[in-house]
Amino acid sequence: MTAGETIKIIARKEIKYLLREKTFFLLLAVFIIMAALSTFIGWSAQHTIRNVYDAATAELAANHQAIPAFPLAHVSSLAIIKNMIIYVVLIGSLVSIILGYFIGINDRISGTIKLIFSRQVSKTELLGGKIFAITYVLSIITLSALAISLISAGIFHVLSFANGLKILGFYALSFLYMLGFALLSLALAMKMKSSAGAILYSLFIWIIITFALPELSSALYPTSLLNPVLPPTDILNSPVLSYIHNFVWPFSISEHFKELSAAVLGVADLPGGQPSLYAYGFNISIIFFWNIFSFLAAFLFFRKIKPAQSDLYE
């Protein structure tokens, strides 16, 4: 049997196992439902703010006050989809963690690691099969969310060829972002001595990437992530914050993803003007490095597997 065939068999087995995990589908359902709801929520908020503006101008006119221009006049039509950026950061990455966890841990919990390595299967082939399974499942999840966003964009009359391409670009980026989490979770699921530890350490990394690093690099409070518009923090005015920003910013993967996604969808708030191509190049490089780092972690942890000691007896 060739290595390619072995990898395919392992991937098929992993996917079959995953299909039995109802809890994975529970989290996946949350992601898919939010993908479907996000456009409606975005549309509802935009529609209401227009009406609030009309009511506000009537109030200002009645009091003979100056009437400012509609503050969202310049906003792109795809702004109704921008909630998906937050949902990928919050839910998509967690779904990926659980995906990597299940695919990494199932052999260990069922006690079949020894059995697998008693056959002519190398560590690289096992890893290859698991990564193939993760990539395949994640592609289907991403494509489903893409289809939902395209349909909902069509329903709210914002779907053009250009906008379709922008949504496609955003989901390509989302796939890369989520893949990093799935690979890292796979690595930890193979490494940790308990199943709870594997999930907990993956969550630690998720918390650091999603909440702690943005606070350090851009002075954003943890719950600021939940807001559709980030608070104005002109951090470069403060020398100390600016210094910390320069140091932490390259590692703040979620911010790179959010910045690049907003640019791809054309919904970025750009008070400081349009970022350079270099800035976008840096964003995408970081997301690629994130994947390379996660892949290397999975590769190194797999190399260290001791078949006789890897099974978990929980």
Q: Is 231 in the site for another protein (CB under 8 A)?
A: yes
Per-residue DSSP letter, 141: H
Mask 6-35, x = binds another protein (CB under 8 A)? ---------------xxxx-xx--x---x-
Closest by Cα among 144, 120, 138 to 10: 120
Q: What is the dihedral of CA 100, 101, 102, 108, to 10 degrees?
A: 120
Q: Is 53 in the site for another protein (CB under 8 A)?
A: yes
Q: Is 104 in the site for another protein (CB under 8 A)?
A: no
Closest by Cα among 245, 251, 139 to 205: 251
Whichever of 29 and 165 has its CB closer to another protein, that residue is 29
Per-residue DSSP letter, 89: I
Selected binder of another protein within 36, 45, 268, 284 (CB under 8 A): 45
Pairwise CA distance, residues 247 & 196, whole Å: 32
Q: Is 42 in the site for another protein (CB under 8 A)?
A: yes
Pairwise CA distance, residues 247 & 59, whole Å: 48
Per-residue DSSP letter, 69: P
Structure token digits, residue 130:
């698991």
Q: How many residues does the chain have?
A: 314
Whichever of 105 and 153 has its CB closer to another protein, that residue is 105
In the chain, what is the greatest distance between 2 CA atoms, to the nearest angstrom?
A: 85
Q: Is 219 in the site for another protein (CB under 8 A)?
A: yes
Instruction: Tell the smallest beta-carbon distance from residue 2 to another protein (Å).
Output: 34
Helix, strand, coil percentages for the chain (3-state, nearest 5) = 80, 0, 20
Instruction: Tell the smallest beta-carbon distance from residue 89 to another protein (Å).
Output: 10
Pairwise CA distance, residues 50 & 150, whole Å: 24
What are the angstrom distances between the C-alpha of 183 and each of 133, 169, 193, 302? Answer: 11, 22, 18, 12
Site for another protein in 132-171 (CB under 8 A): none
Selected binder of another protein within 3, 61, 155, 200 (CB under 8 A): 200
Q: Is 233 in the site for another protein (CB under 8 A)?
A: yes
Q: Is 262 in the site for another protein (CB under 8 A)?
A: no
Mask 75-94, x = binds another protein (CB under 8 A)? --------x--x---xx--x
Within 110-160, residue ranges assigned H as helices are 113-118, 123-155
Q: Is 222 in the site for another protein (CB under 8 A)?
A: yes
Total residues contacting another protein by CB under 8 A comes to: 68
Residues that bind another protein in the complex, under the rule CB under 8 A: 21-24, 26-27, 30, 34, 41-42, 44-46, 48-49, 51-53, 55-56, 59-60, 63, 65-66, 68, 71-72, 83, 86, 90-91, 94, 98, 109, 195-197, 199-200, 203-204, 207, 211-212, 215-216, 219, 221-223, 226-235, 237-238, 240-241, 269, 271, 314
